[in-house]
Amino acid sequence: MPHFAANLTFLFNEVDFLERFAAAKKAGFDAVEFHYPYAWDKRVVRAALDEAHLQVVLINIPAGGKDDFGLACLPGREADFLAALLLALDYAVALGVPRINCLAGLVAERADASAYRTTFIANLKVASRECRKAGLELMIEPLNTRDVPRFFLTHSRQAIDIIRATGAENIKLQYDLYHMHIMEGALARTLEELLPAIGHVQFADSPGRHEPGTGEIDFAFLFRHLDRIGYRGWISAEYHPSGKTADSLGWLRNG
């Protein structure tokens, strides 16, 4: 049976962030993730987790300013990336988070992509060392260019090549079924082929990025497939509910 987590950045938006922990537990989740907890004191977030008897399985490294979508590949922004990384590690240790996600960033129009790749690899080497000191895994996540134009990392095998180039054993692929359905298709085959490199899975249906059953992805099959091929990590619901969150959880109740 898959281990499901709720992404509190997307789900339970009917209530304030700190109230979403109890809502997730009431809905049947034992684990959560969220993107950016940095607006809240980490002790307050930890208290909300403990009160709801939840574990948090993932947070994101801060993604930069309003015009950024990650800092890790941006030439000249290495100091900004390091500061963001250290903040994420501080929260991850305090909250008991086992892995952090590193968004690559956007490539400027008509820019030389090779410089971004070089910067990304160098920053990932630094991040992997710092994560290893803290006993954490580091995720990198390809995103689709329909929702995030000019994002640097867009395909699963591109991510694998980047990971290999770092030489780091604690960097894993964060495989989002929604993004990779748009960019690649062949989800079941890719999951099986890349299983040893996958550290975390997320999902939403496509099109629309809503809950399972609202689009064209066969989640019942894919969840069974992940079990069959031996995936033992977390599978996080990272979708925009088409109505109230509680009404979107049929996939969980029927799983």
Cα 5 to Cα 131, 141, 147, 154: the distances in Å are 22, 17, 23, 24
Measured CA to CA in angstroms, residue 37 lies from 3, 88, 111, 234 at distances of: 23, 9, 32, 20
Burial class from Cβ neighbours inside 10 Å (0-12, 13-18, 19+) for residue 136 reads buried
Q: In the annotation, is 169 catalytic? A: no
Across the range 99-110, mean pLDDT stands at 96
- Whether the upstream peptide bond of residue 98 has omega within 30° of 0, thus cis, is no
What residue type is assigned to position 46 of the chain?
R
Tens digits of residue pLDDT in 201-246: 999 999 999 999 999 999 999 999 999 999 999 999 999 999 999 9
Looking at residue 93, its pLDDT comes to: 98
pLDDT tens-place string over residues 121-166? 999 999 999 999 999 999 999 999 999 999 999 999 999 999 999 9
Strands 31-33 and 3-7: parallel
pLDDT of residue 66: 85
To the query of whether residue 78 is one of the catalytic residues in this protein, the response is no
Q: Would you state the pLDDT for residue 98?
A: 98
Q: Where are the domains of the chain?
A: 57-243
Q: How many CB atoms lie within 10 A of CB 80?
A: 16
DSSP-assigned letters across all residues of 139-195? EE----TTTSTTBS---HHHHHHHHHHHT-TTEEEEEEHHHHHHHT--HHHHHHHHG
d(CA 206, CA 236): 16
CATH class of domain segment(s) 57-243: alpha beta
What average pLDDT does the segment 181-192 reach?
97
Q: What confidence category does residue 110 fall into, taking pLDDT thresholds of 50, 70 and 90?
A: confident
Catalytic residue among 33, 137, 211, 238: 238
Q: Which of 33, 137, 141, 211 is catalytic?
A: 141
Task: Provide the 8-state DSSP code for 5.
Answer: E
Q: Which amino acid appears at position 106 of this protein?
A: L
Q: Is the pLDDT of residue 188 over 80?
A: yes
pLDDT at 255 over 70: no
